[in-house]
Amino acid sequence: MADTVTMTDNRTGKQIECPIIDGVYGAPVIDMKSLYKELNMFTYDPGFMTTAACRSSITYLDGEQGILLHRGYPIEQLAEQSSYLEVCYLLLYGELPTAKQFEDFRANLNQRNMVHEHLERFYTGYLYDAHPMSMLIGVTGALSSYYHEAMDINDPVDRELTALRVIAKMPILAAHCYKHSVGHPFVYSRDDLGYVENFLNMMFSVPMRDYEPPAIAVKALNMMLILHADHEQNASTSTVRLAGSAEANPFACIAAGIVTLWGPAHGGANEAVLKMLAEIETPENIPKFIERAKDKSDPFKLMGFGHRVYKNFDPRATIIRKVCHELLDELGDEVVDKNLLDIAMELEEIALKDDYFIERKLYPNVDFYSGIILKALRIPTSMYTVMFALARSVGWISQWLEMMEDPEFRIGRPRQLYTGSESRDYVPMDKRG
């Protein structure tokens, strides 16, 4: 029979036909919804390696071919020709905006680019050296207290408002994490600046002077944000969807996504790259570290090299590499810790020529270059995952919106294979041996 997979329980001989569903691209899926009802069985798939948990029309990625599309547009074209804010619109609404739609979008965001003064007090509860990610989790979660009773997540107007609030307020929350850690006064968001310029101003201006970033810094950060805006059903996005499926407050769902992103296996790699470069210390030590990376008895790996999904190349890395080199060439001696950046560039050159890395197709990934860009922009290492969270917040809220509008939407509830004790009787404590 066409377009089905026959599942047979060889113990009973009972068979079911499971429909095959084709997507626009990518592997087709087997609709397993009748499996439990008909065969009284679940599927077992630790880590969801082969499970499609939803339909989505936002992002498509093909790890073998190195393809990444947002709403059908190749990431290369978006990174070269678009702006982060325009990509936000695209992810959210599904189409590129006309000039008028974009102007209205910006005006809508500008109406929401303040946070309640009381929210600022949450920061003072954190020590100055608290990790900025722990602050971001707290203050993002706290936003839910401002938008709870009056918000109806079943109302599309309220849902759109929520998405606009997330996009408008996340840069403020992120910049305030940095300001708190250095003890500087918080800087308000400004309507007259572009998204990236405004964020850099909130980070680096002080009461005595505004901050005027070099054009290349704006270009590099804009690109870094675009490249991290969404990446399909990764761990943090799935967390946002799962929390959202319980109809939790969307700001709390975003906070849950930030929690997941903080894990070093997910968003923490850009921070790890810089720590590794510091450990290498001088370009002369590079060969020693390359040898360690190849040595199977040594757990050391070259951070920022290789990728779980992209096995030939990471399209985001190809794009960001170019702007990273431009940035370093242009900023030249202005950049802090030039030594670290020299090590990075030399490491990249040596590893790209080394047979071990060539044979295993281990290329620098997006986080190798984004770590270097953030370093050159004088953003402290502990803020790197916050920058990732800032960029990804639009992906999270777009995926949340899509889920809320999905007719198949229901609470996420994975099953399990129980491996514990068989049923047994309670024994009073004085009778236990």
| Identity of the residue, 197 or 367, whose beta carbon is nearer to ligand CMC in the bound complex | 367
| Identity of the residue, 138 or 267, whose beta carbon is nearer to ligand CMC in the bound complex | 267
Beta strands in 325-418 (DSSP E): none
201 binds ligand CMC (CB under 6 A): no
The two tokens of residue 423 are 């049923």
275 binds ligand CMC (CB under 6 A): no
Q: Is residue 250 classed exposed, middle or buried when 0-12, 13-18 and 19+ CB atoms within 10 A define those classes?
A: buried
From residue 334 to residue 363, the character string flagging contacts with ligand CMC as x (rule: CB under 6 A) and all else as - is: --------------------------x-x-
* Residues annotated as catalytic (active site), given as ranges: 307, 367
| Identity of the residue, 109 or 317, whose beta carbon is nearer to ligand CMC in the bound complex | 317
Residue list 133-172, contact with ligand CMC (CB under 6 A): none
Q: Which helix (H) or strand (E) holds 209?
A: none
From residue 282 to residue 311, the character string flagging contacts with ligand CMC as x (rule: CB under 6 A) and all else as - is: -----------x-------xxxxxxxx---
268 binds ligand CMC (CB under 6 A): no
Residue list 205-224, contact with ligand CMC (CB under 6 A): none
Q: Which residue is nearest to ligand CMC (CB)?
A: 306
367 binds ligand CMC (CB under 6 A): yes
Sheet holding 73-74, edge to edge: 59-62, 67-70, 73-74
271 binds ligand CMC (CB under 6 A): no
125-150 as b/e: b if 16+ CB within 10 A: ebeeebbbbebbbbbbbbbbeeeeee
269 binds ligand CMC (CB under 6 A): yes
- Least gap, CB of 264 to ligand CMC (angstroms): 9
Q: How far apart are CA 110 and CA 193, in angstroms?
A: 10
Q: How far apart are CA 16 and CA 19, in angstroms?
A: 10
14 binds ligand CMC (CB under 6 A): no
- In sequence order, which residues have a C-beta less than 8 Å from that of residue 332 and are 6 or more positions away? none
The two tokens of residue 56 are 């989505």
- Least gap, CB of 380 to ligand CMC (angstroms): 20
The answer to whether the beta carbons of residues 134 and 126 sit under 8 Å apart is: yes
Q: Where do contacts with ligand CMC occur on this chain (CB under 6 A)?
A: 269, 293, 301-308, 360, 362, 365-367
